[in-house]
Structure formats: C-alpha cells, structure tokens
Chain A
Amino acid sequence: MNETHHLRRMTIAWVIVSVVADVLFWFFVGPHVPPGRMTDMATSNQFDFNILFVIALPVLIGVWIYLGYTIVVWSAKRGGPEPVGGEAARTNRTAQVAWITITSVVVLFLAGFGTVELVVNHGSGGGEGPNPVWSPAGATKAEAAALAGTGTWSPHSGQVLPVQVIAQQWKFTYRYPTFGGFETTQLVLPTNTTIVFNVTSLDVTHSFWAYQLGVKADANPLINDVAYTATTQQGQFVVRCSELCGIWHGAMYNYGRVVSQQAFATWAQQTEATNAANTQLLPAFAWTYTPDANGAAGGYYPDGKVTPYSSAEVYGAKQPAS
C-alpha cells in the first residue's frame, strides 16, 4: 500500500467522524453545558466551552483514529513488509512544518478568541481584583456611589447593583450598600440587571463561586476582588466555596435566587427595615474589613478610606487604631 493510501483513508474517516461528532455535540450537548444560561456571563462561558470543544473534538478524534489505525494495521502480528529506516523515516519536512503550523495557528486563534471574550465580557465573571479595567457601563459610578453611601437602585432604572460578598470560615454573607448596607445570609438578585460583586474575606482565602451565574472570584482578606455578571433569567443558583479554607470547606455553600426586579426591590426594602437595628451595629460599609487584633470573628474594623480603584491604597491599606 502506498503512502497516500494510508493517509487518505485516515483523513476520510477523520473528516466524517469529526463532522458528525461536532454537529451532534453542538446541537444536542452544547446547550446543556454548564454553567447554563442564567446570566450573560454564564452564556458566554458556555459559548467559549462549546467553541473549544468543537475544536478539541477533531483533535482527539484525529489522534484516536491514528492510534487505532496503527494498532490494527501496523502491528507486527499482521506481518506485512519490513519497515523502512534511514533518513526518509527520520524526518519528513512537510509533515513537521504542517504539524507546527497547524498547532500554532489553532493555539494562537484560541488565545485571541479567549482574549476577545474576556475583554468583551468584562472579565467573564472572573475575579478582576480591586481595579477592574474591563467594567460594564455604569459600574464604576455605582461602585463609587456605594462606597460613599449615596448609591441607589430602583426597578426598571437600568442601574447597576453592587453587592458585597463577605466570606469567612465557613459561610458567606452579603451586604447591599444601596440599601443602607444591611448584611444578610441570603443572596437575592434582580433579573435583567448588571451586578457588581465585591468579594472579600475576613480570615483565610475562600472563593465565591456562584455556579449558574458564571461567577468565580477569590475572597482574600484585605482585598476587594470585583466580578461582574448580568442576570437574564429568574431562578435558584448554588453558591459554593471553591478554595480550600479549612475543615468545613466542603460544607461552605448556600443558595441564591434571581427574582423579578419588583420582587427584589420589595425584599431589599423589607430586609433593610427589619435589619435596621442590626445594621447600625455593623462597621460602616467598606471594601474590606480587617479582623480585630486577636483575630476574633465578629469584631472587625472597616479599613477607612480604601477605594476599589486605587491599588496603592488597597495594598497599602492603613490599619485603624484599635
């Protein structure tokens, strides 16, 4: 059998199987790939996964077909002609150049694609640190207002909603700066709204993973890790800690809800009212809080003038006198 014959057979098999597999995947599996489509971030992360998968499948299938072919056709058991050694079997310039070119093109495309997705989607729901450069419209203003205590949010206003996520061993609590800064264990969000999560920790490193929202951001003490998402569907979602934070890390999860804008506003106003007495005892809203001198939970201090958009101040956060 001559050379082209082997390769032609494999190529034909590869093209057919790849096309079928890709089409089946794209239409039947793709729409169900995590994290789903509850937010714009989730949708775009799912889209990215599917694009990668559609590119990866032919690669996998190509190598599998080749290996399978090798095992069946080129096994010593089947006899066949003696292999050829010498220079010809050592280097085949065309094969090498083609291999390097194709892999490079695929890889560079993927890097470019990932970058575009990351920038266009405002960080793709990942933790962007204290000074995000790819913020959605209105986010920076909403954040500044939240810190100043002048932020507002009302239904159908198109306003961005800042929410603070405070992680500690072993639970998450949430503060709503636009509603008087009340703190609660429930994460409720309005639908069709851009959300800014400000994630921080009171003790060790945790990671705020709102699975269906397509959001994941590490929670570090003294650091405000910002992540964006825009809700598009109502429903329940899971929040899990995804950075090992000690013994009860496995039990550090709860559920959140995306509800209609009106329902959210009602819930937030009610909670603000019922929690008012408690809220007064809380430290003033800030991006990060430091544990007290003994590291005891409960008694933490706001670290004053830290704004989220100046890394110098965040990293050099002044300690309040205790």
Chain B
Amino acid sequence: MSTVDERPHEVALAASGTKPPLTQRPGLLSQHLGTALVGAIIGYAIGHWLGNTISSHYAYIVNSGQNAIADTLGLMFGVAGWLLGIGALNYPLAKLVGRQPNSEVEIQGWSKYFRYSTNHKTVGLQYVVGVLLFMFTGGLLAMAIRTELLSPTTHVFSPDTYIKIVSEHGTVMMMMATSIVVGPLGNYLVPLMIGSRRMAFPRIEAFSFWVFVAGYMVIFSALPFGGFPTGWTGYAPLQTQSGPGMVSYLFGFAVIGLGMMAAGFNIAVTIINYRAPGMTWSRVPIFVWSILATAALLTLATPTLFAAGVFGLLDRTVQTAFYVTEHGGSSYLWENLFWFFGHPEVYIMALPGFGIAGEILPVFTRKPLFAYKVGAAGMIGVSLLSFFVWQHHLFQSGINPDMRPLFMLTTELISIPTGFIYLVGMGTMYKAKIRFDLPMLFVMALYFNFLIGGVTGVFLSDVPVNVTVHGGFFVLAHFHYTIMGGLLFAFMAGLYYWLPKMTGRMMNRRIGLWHFWTMFIFFNLTFFPMFIIGLLGQPRRVFTYAKNLQGLNDFSSISAFVLGFSFLIFFFNLVWSLYINPVKAPANPWDSLGLEWQTATPVPAHNFDRIPVVLADPYHYSEVNAPAVADLGPASPPDEPSLSGAPA
C-alpha cells in the first residue's frame, strides 16, 4: 500500500469491512539482518580500498602510518552497505530512477524482527532488544572499570586499556540512553496512546532503528581500531592527537545522531498530526507530552552533535583545523558544540522517564494525575531552558568566565520545571490507595534516586562548589543518579508495565521483586559512595587513586558487581516469563484507562478496528460518573473490559 493517502484509505477500508493485505511470507531473496551484514562488510572493504587508493601516498599519511581517510570511508561505505542490505534504500532508490516501488507489507512470523519493518510495533520490539543489547555490552565494560578500581596499586589493565574501556563504556551508554525509552516505548506506544494506526513516516521509523544498530556497530569498531582515550566527551586536542579509534567515535556519534534526528522528527510529526479525533492537547497522555518534548530536543539538538562529529572527521581526514588551536581553530569550539548538544541530551535522557512515572502513577494510585497541566508545561519548559545552560559543564574552562552567573542562574532555574515531576507525583500519591506492583516500585525508586541526582545538580551549578567537584567522582555520581537512577529505573517500570501489552505475557512478579530490590539497593550502594569519593578528591577516569580511598572504592566496586548481577536476574525474568513459563496477559492487567490498554492483546495489526473517538483524558480514576475515555466503535472483541467509567 502506498504511504501517501493511506490514512483515509485505511479508514475507508476498515469502515467497509474489508482489510488491506497486511502480511505475507518472506520470499527467498528477501532482505534481512544477514544481507545487511554482508552489505556492511562489502561496503567497508570497498570504502577502505578506495580510501587507501586515493590517499595512501600522501606524506602525512605515510609518516603517521595511519590512514584516517581509509578508515572513515570504510565506515561510511559500511553503513551505506548495511542500509542497502537491510533494504532501507529500496524505496528511495526506486523513486529516484522513476520506478514504482514495491509495496511494503509486513512479513509474517518471527523473522520480521530481523527485517526492515515499517510497523511501529515491530520496530518498538526491535528497539527493546537493541537497547538491551547496548546496555548489556556497556554494562560489561562497567564491570571491567570497577574491577580495575578495586585497588590503587594492583592493576588488572594497563592504563592504556583502562582508559579505552572507560571511554567505550561512557560512549556506548550515552548513545544507548538517548534511545532507551523513545526507541522501544515511544515507537510502540505513541500511536496506540494517541489513537493512531501508525507513525507518520514508517520508513523513517524503520530507518531510525537500523541506523541505531549501525551506530552500535560503528562505536564498537573502535575496539579493533585500538580504542579511543578521550572519554565520551571527546575533548580536542586529545581527540586530534589520538589514533584511528577516534574515527569510530566521531563517525559513531554522527550515525547515532542521524537515527536520533530521524526518530525525533518522525515522532514529533506523528504526535502533532496523527492524534485521533477528540485527542486534544489537554487530553494527550503525559507520557506522550514527555516524548514530544524529547522528540523536539532530538530534532533540534542533535544536528549540533552531527556537525561536531563531521568537523572532527574533517580535521582527521582532510587536515582542516576546526579544533586545532595552533592552526586558527579552537579546542573550545569542540567543547561548546559538544555541550550545546550535550546538555539538551541530558534532558533527552530525563524527560521520557518523567513521562513514564506520570503515566504509571495514576494507574497504581487509582487517582487522577495531579497538576497535569503544570507537568506538561514543565516538560516543555525544561526542553526550552535546556538550550541555555550548556556552559555549566565549562565553568572552569576559562571560556566566557564573566557569563558564569548567567549560566548558574539558568541551570538553577531549570530545576524549577524539573521539580514539577515531584509536584505531580506527590500530589497524585496524596490520600491514594497505592498498589505496590512492580512498575510502581520502580517509579517510587525513581523518585528516591532522582531526588539525589537533582539536588546534587544544584550543588554542581553553584560555581564556588563546582570548583571542588568538577571533573571528579561527584559529577559521576550525579549523572548516574539522574540517568541510571532516573531514566533506567523508569525504563524498567515501563517494561514491567507495558511488556504484557507488547508481548502478551506477564512478567513474573517474584523474580521481578528480586530484580527490583537488588537493583535498587545496590544501585544506591554503588553510586552513593561516589559522592564522597569525589568530595575527597578523586578525579574521574583515573586508574589509580589515593590509598585512603580504597575502602570506599572497594565498597562501590563490590556493590557494582551485585548491581550487575541484578541485571542478570532481569534477563532471567525475561527468558522465564516469555519463553520458559509464559503466563498469558489479559488485555488490561492493571485496570488502566489508557487508550493503549483498550486494544486487544496481542495488539491487532492496525491497532484499532476503527479510529477511536477520544472523549476524555485517561486519568479519570476513582471518579463517580467518569466519562468514557474513548468510543472505540461497536467491534470490541468479547474479552475486552468495559470501557466506560472507572474500574472497580
């Protein structure tokens, strides 16, 4: 089916009772992960050969023994081959040569997860696996870091290996965190929540996922290239100085950036244009608001990262000097570009978590969401303000020092809208009747953790205090409390909450409780000591430290190992609940009023038989004579719960 006039077409089809063909069996010569890998390898070989052919005789390349041109072209062609191989370019290429592109229909069976799927639910699940894989590899690197830090004098790794592990860990995790909620839950849930059958740009959506995977492979290609020593922040001139692994870092961020822009753009357009009739802005679920704010940040902030990465690649390949101070460039330029993206980026890693919390709270407190409008306005406020604070990462850099009061002010101001999440949460919990099921437990943990993260953020933004804590473990603890303690706990809440809808299986509660308590306790035991370690003078990214800090570091390391183990419990729970001992999930196990829960489980291919007409926001819990959330039309399957009013 063509994408252009699909919506009226679908509506018409559905109304007339016939359905468009949705699925087909895969053909023999179809494209999938395998062909993509082959494409990537061939592309890499061609690119590398080409780079060598055109540039290997240049004196600076001969002298340095490094050919960044070949490495860059190799990776670029590799990514292009990957996209060709998966089929991402079939449609645009056919259009380009004036042919009618083949219609894209969903493949049947599990193999669709390894293909270029334009179904938002398939993409959502692909993202779940993608981000978990990302997280798992990043987590292994974290274990390596904590192993090295067990002792200041006995070393497991060489300083060289160690710094490369740290850098790879940070970069992988930051890249993962940009998409951890927007990718899986944003793609899967946004259309369901706003009463749409699809995303605005399904091909762009598929593209965003497969580019995300490409980015994952590019950033890991740094390891065979010898790694990079700059941390995830990649500061020049160290960046300029270091070896070929840096190409993977710069290009990796550019590639991930493409995926982020694509995802953000697609999701923002979907939310703005594909809301069902009656889904007014004051009825949009708070999760959708958070994703909209995030999508705006993804679309507007990421181009800066992309440009910064490309400038770095140009410096390395064609000897420009964007970041080379001696040649008229500036190392400050990188710092500014990086953080101009980097600060909005930290809210990309916070807002979706707030949205999840806001979505889950009413369901488990059986109360309407408190101060919904303030919450939504806060998210928009945060995303706007986040473009005006980036210099707080550079207070001691000597850049623009007279403007420090301004950036101190903006940074502290941003904690006002950030704090709204507490107003919303505490108001909703007030005089409630709370069911402490797994999703709610993770949300409570988020409130506990993020409080510490947010409050220490205010310490960091006070310039005199920043003098002592900048560049040290205090900062490290701060952002792990916000990102891991906030976003990751929210993601877990979201998974326990929505996986029953996405997979049709309930997650095991008992294993889930083990997961929750080990993760919550050992997260705090791992990262809380880092505040003290930082105050006592330990800089970040060091392989050795003062002898008197060994006790605290060991405590943190051992807790980190248990924290790592808690993720194994989670993976075990996944395998157990989905495959070994599956328990079928009812369509609406949590008695939620959310539109996404009013569909059948598994969600029908077109989400809704008829585009629903939204009648109210989804938070009318415990309300006498509550309005129905939506009119889903006459064709509700028999096992659907009643839609009207509050559940008992």
A→B interface (CB under 8 Å): 3, 6, 33-35, 41, 44-45, 48-49, 52-53, 56, 59-60, 63-64, 66-67, 70-71, 74-77, 80, 82-86, 89-92, 95-96, 99-100, 103-104, 107-108, 110-111, 114-115, 117-119, 121, 123-130, 132-133, 203-205, 207, 209, 211, 214-218, 220-223, 225-226, 238, 240-251, 290-291, 315, 319
Contact = CB atoms under 8 A, between A and B. Distances in A.
Given A84-B622, A85-B646, A107-B415, A245 B238 contact: yes
A216 B460 CA distance: 14
A220 B412 contact: no
Interface stretch (B135-143, B252-260, B397-405, B566-574): B397-405
Contacts of B623: 85-86
Given A205-B236, A250-B545, 13 more contacts: A3-B431, A6-B430, A49-B459, A63-B422, A90-B371, A91-B373, A115-B405, A115-B408, A129-B401, A205-B238, A221-B325, A246-B163, A250-B541
B464 A44 contact: yes
Given A99-B423, A118-B404, A246-B241, A91 B370 contact: yes
A119 B546 CA distance: 33
Contacts of A248: 159
B315 to A, nearest CB: 14
Contact of A91 (B371, B436, B444, B540): B371
B451 interface: yes
Contacts of A70: 426, 429, 432, 434
Contacts of A207: 396, 470-471
Contact of B331 (A56, A205, A242): A205
B5 interface: no
B622 to A, nearest CB: 4
Contacts of B332: 220
B468 A121 contact: no
B463 interface: yes
B463 A215 contact: no
Given A34-B537, A216-B467, A56 B237 contact: no
B211 to A, nearest CB: 28
Contacts of B427: 92, 95
Contacts of A127: 396-398, 401
Nearest to B402: A133
B432 A249 contact: no
Contacts of A63: 422, 426, 447, 451
Report the interface size class on chain B.
35 or more
Contacts, number: 292
B245 interface: no
A3 B58 CA distance: 79
Contact of B396 (A75, A86, A217): A217
A71 B332 CA distance: 49
Contacts of B41: none
A247 B398 contact: no
Contacts of A75: 433-434, 436
Contacts of A108: 412
Given A70-B429, A89-B368, A250-B541, A124 B467 contact: yes
Please list the 6 inter-chain residue pairs (A to B) with the smallest Cβ-Cβ separation, ordered nearest first.
A85-B623, A242-B471, A250-B542, A85-B622, A225-B398, A124-B464
B374 interface: yes
A91 B427 CA distance: 9
Nearest to B459: A52
Interface stretch (B227-235, B300-308, B628-636): B227-235
B535 A204 contact: no
Contacts of A80: 433
Interface string B474-497: 000000000000000000000000
Contacts of B467: 41, 45, 124-126, 214-216
B326 interface: yes
9 contacts: A45-B464, A107-B413, A111-B409, A118-B408, A216-B396, A216-B468, A240-B539, A247-B229, A249-B539
Contacts of B436: 71, 75-77
A301 to B, nearest CB: 11
B468 A49 contact: yes
Which of A49, A130, A315 is packed against the most chain B CB atoms within 10 Å? A49
Contacts of A117: 463-464
Contacts of B419: 99, 103
A5 to B, nearest CB: 11
Contacts of B619: 90
Interface string B405-418: 10011001101100
B390 interface: no
Indicate the member of A35, A86, A104, A121 with the most B CB atoms within 10 Å.
Answer: A86
Contacts of B412: 107-108, 110-111, 114
B416 A107 contact: yes
Given A85-B620, A220-B398, A103 B535 contact: no
A136 to B, nearest CB: 15
Contacts of B408: 111, 114-115, 118
Given A205-B235, A207-B396, A220-B325, A114 B163 contact: no
Contact of A34 (B330, B366, B535, B646): B535
Contact of B231 (A56, A128, A244): A244
Taking each of A77, A218, A251, which has the highest tally of chain B beta carbons within 10 Å of its own beta carbon? A218
A245 B239 CA distance: 10
B339 to A, nearest CB: 13
B221 interface: no
B387 interface: no
A282 B610 CA distance: 82
Contacts of A95: 371, 423, 427
A71 B436 CA distance: 9
A251 B398 contact: no
B185 to A, nearest CB: 25
A246 B405 contact: no
Nearest to B404: A118
Contacts of A121: 464
Contacts of A33: 535
A59 B455 contact: yes
B460 to A, nearest CB: 10
A286 to B, nearest CB: 15
A128 B463 CA distance: 11
Given A82-B433, A246-B241, A249-B163, A238 B537 contact: yes
Interface string B309-343: 00000000000000001100011100000000000
B461 to A, nearest CB: 8
A100 B418 CA distance: 11
B466 interface: yes
Given A60-B451, A67-B448, A83-B366, A34 B468 contact: yes
Given A67-B444, A241-B539, A129 B400 contact: yes
A242 B646 contact: no
B395 interface: yes
B371 A96 contact: yes
A130 B431 CA distance: 57
B159 A118 contact: no
A216 B471 contact: yes
B331 A220 contact: yes
Contacts of A214: 467-468
Given A59-B455, A91-B370, A118-B404, A244 B235 contact: yes
Given A63-B426, A220-B397, A83 B465 contact: no
Contacts of B452: 60
B565 to A, nearest CB: 26
B544 A251 contact: yes
Contacts of A240: 537, 539
Given A45-B468, A118-B463, A133-B402, A74 B432 contact: yes
Contacts of A290: 326
Nearest to A6: B431
B12 to A, nearest CB: 38
Given A221-B237, A222-B326, A100 B416 contact: yes
Nearest to B546: A238
